[in-house]
Structure 1
Amino acid sequence: MLETFSNKSILITGNTGFKGSWLTAWLLHHGAKVIGLSKDIPSHPSHFEAANMGDRITHIWGNIENLATCQELIQQYQPDFIFHLAAQPLVRQSYREPHTTFTTNVVGTLNILEALRLSNHPCTAILITSDKCYDNLEQVWGYRETDRLGGKDPYSGSKGAAELVIRSYTASYFSSGDSPVKVAVGRAGNVIGGGDWACDRIVPDTIKAWSSDQPVLIRNPHATRPWQHVLEPLSGYLTLAAKLANNSLLNGETFNFGPSAEQNYTVANLLNSMQQHWTNAAWTDCSNPESLYEAGLLKLCCDKALHYLGWKPILTFKETVALTTQWYQAYYSDSREVWQVTQEQIACYETYAQERQAVWTISCASPATS
């Protein structure tokens, strides 16, 4: 499957971010020619800078909120694949900056689609939204791709709105069997892994504190999340892109990429597991009943990805935590280069996937409309 991307021109928006930098590293690992578009480095430190990725790709500084930037870039490079990851990805920041959140997440997505419409060259585009695009009713079963979109906070609302834009553009411009542009949507939830230093996220906050021998303060230790390593949904995006490029029946479809149902754990479970890999680690419950709304339970049903893509998550919760914590240990105390550690973990993940036969034969049936 990964040989699909060898020597292909691939545009990644948001390539300096957490997911974007790992996707960049993985595609470079398989000989892709990566073009990155981002407006800034979203955190300091950053995985992108620590691994010197700017020297390994064609990097363009620009803002997806600017249609001319998107149009000129896509017209100039005419990428074989696009992975649209650029976003304002933080719930708490969305409360502080709702206009920026909606503009980035909705208008930015609109601009990529419009640039594709105007270019109209052969291209497979995977547009990434979020599990928070669903209207979260705190239900105990996983959300399916056909469930209602919604969102109580600005971030969730922006992702639901982006999905409506994608749906209308796909139906209006890219739905015919001979369309050179193929589009699909990937939805994933909370991801963890080395190289994430974003604000208001549990693992970066924890590692920052522990690397300074300080306890981390936790505002909602009982919240349950479907924790998964960053390489898990990225493997889903790559699988979807490879399959979509050769199967027009997947055009316009949406897919969930989450951990298996039994891997929902609380924040406290996550921290206690991380403690086993870090000396002198401690955390303190500082729950505040007046905190801004955040979903307490949200998980995905990934049966559709399994049936039509042959995709399934492969890492256990313990493996996810171990890979994550070990990456940060290498960064703070190991003499190995960040690029080397990143490539080693990608190779490790691929070995797990091969051993566990993660990618099965694709079904040729048409997916149900989502």
Structure 2
Amino acid sequence: MAKWLDMLGAEVTGYALPPQNDEVHEPSYSKNYKSILGDITNFEFLRKAIEEAQPEIVFHLAAQPLVRYSYREPLETYATNVMGTANVLEAIRGCDSVRAVICVTTDKVYQNKERQEGYREEDRLGGYDPYSSSKACSEMVIETFRNCFFSTDNSEGKHKALIASARGGNVIGGGDWSQDRIIPDIIRAKINSVPLEIRNPNAVRPWQHVLDCLLGYLSLGTHLLDGKAENASAYNFGPLPNERPFTVNEIVEYAKNHWPSIPVISQPSSLHETTFLSLNCNKAVQELKWNPFLSTEEAVNWTFDWYNAFFQNECITEQQINTYQNLMG
């Protein structure tokens, strides 16, 4: 997101925790960025950072984003995802320059009933595990701040920024090194020459390339910057209905087309994880005129192309963004 915004001519300030490992794709970073190392649970430090940056638009993507980690650290998960979101919105409430806010949550905010039909934005929120639950809670925080403190009708005494939430699917793409995610797990298995452990090979997720997802966030942000209060709501961003659902095992098979030598072993988990998850994205398609440009197969191949370049000490983030923009026409 930061790289793409920079390429579009934006003045970018980033606020994030220090990287947890050395495998970050620093070559893709622009010297034009201002990078602030901080925690969103530290309200005063966050408030000062936003006040100094004087942003027009804020993309809130900070989170504890891992399901299995949330079982180990539920308090940290709720502190980051719920109070962290409240801190971001409260800090923005004190900054008059902000006109638009995109709060990124997840496809897992819905009460999952393992149904084949994709979840719609008006479906009931919920969450079995602490991560999913915390993100559903953050959606309620977003709605409360929108209703009480931010205006969609030029109300006196309310901040004029428009706020929307974006519920992305299972995002894949280069540069992800998180634990307990299938693509990074594949990459670590290759780097370390160890077997790839698969917990649930038949699990189905709404896989999508990060650039398709970010295009949705950028489209939503553009509508809010244009003052379109009717778009200050929740939107799903995932594969379109004509995309055949991919299982975890199929993602692994695509990886083995690139790196056939990776051994795979089954390692079932006792922790509850959803088996089937799908999103209905008709609202974003109809109201934002958003469409993904990459099929699931292309998304997987683009992702492995990025890591293949990384193994050659190259970074193709900007190249992939340029190629993607050419697909957009």
One-letter amino acid of the counterpart of residue 204, structure 1: P
Which residue of 313, 326, 346 corresponds with 2:305?
A: 326
C-alpha displacement of 1:243:
1.3
**Number of residues paired by the alignment?**
324
Distance 1:147 1:42 in 2: 35
Give the CA deviation at 1:165: 0.6
Q: Which residue of 2 aligns with 1:111?
A: 87
Q: Of the candidates 246, 250, 269, which is equivalent to residue 226 of structure 2?
A: 246
When structure 1 is superposed on structure 2, of 262-271 and 300-309 the one drifting more is 262-271
Note the 1:21-40 alignment, pairs <5 A: 23-40=1-18
1:277-356 matches, cutoff 5 A: 277-288=258-269, 291-332=270-311, 334-336=312-314, 338=315, 341-354=316-329
Secondary structure of the structure 2 residue equivalent to 1:33: coil
Q: Separation in 2 of the partners of 1:286 and 1:335?
A: 32
Q: Say if 2:251 is the partner of 1:273.
A: no
Alpha-carbon RMSD across the aligned residues, in angstroms, is: 1.6
1:335, CA displacement in angstroms?
Answer: 4.8
Instruction: Give the distance between the partners of 2:313 and 2:16, measured in 1 at CA.
Output: 29
Q: Which moved more, 1:303-312 or 1:68-77?
A: 68-77
Partner of 2:206: 226
- Contact conserved, 1:257 with 1:302, CA < 8 A, in 2? yes
Name the counterpart of 1:358.
Answer: none
Q: CA deviation at 1:308?
A: 0.4
Which amino acid counterpart does residue 142 of structure 1 have in structure 2?
G
Q: Structure 1 residue aligned with 2:140, among 147, 161, 164?
A: 164
Q: After the TM superposition, which of the residue ranges 97-106 and 220-229 deviates more from structure 2? A: 220-229
- Displacement of 1:277: 2.1
- Supply the AA of the counterpart residue of 1:352: L
TM, length-normalised to structure 1: 0.84
**How far apart, in 1, do the equivalents of 2:263 and 2:32 lie?**
38
- Supply the AA of the counterpart residue of 2:171: V
Amino acid across the alignment from 1:126: I
Q: In the TM superposition, what is the alpha-carbon distance from 1:125 to its structure 2 partner?
A: 0.7
For normalisation by structure 2, the TM-score amounts to 0.94
Q: How far apart are the structure 2 equivalents of 1:43 and 1:85? A: 19
Structure 1 residues 52, 249: CA separation in 2 closer, same or farther (over 3 Å shift)? closer
- Offset at 1:45? 1.1
Q: Percent identity, please.
A: 42
CA distance in 1, matches of 2:123, 2:265: 37
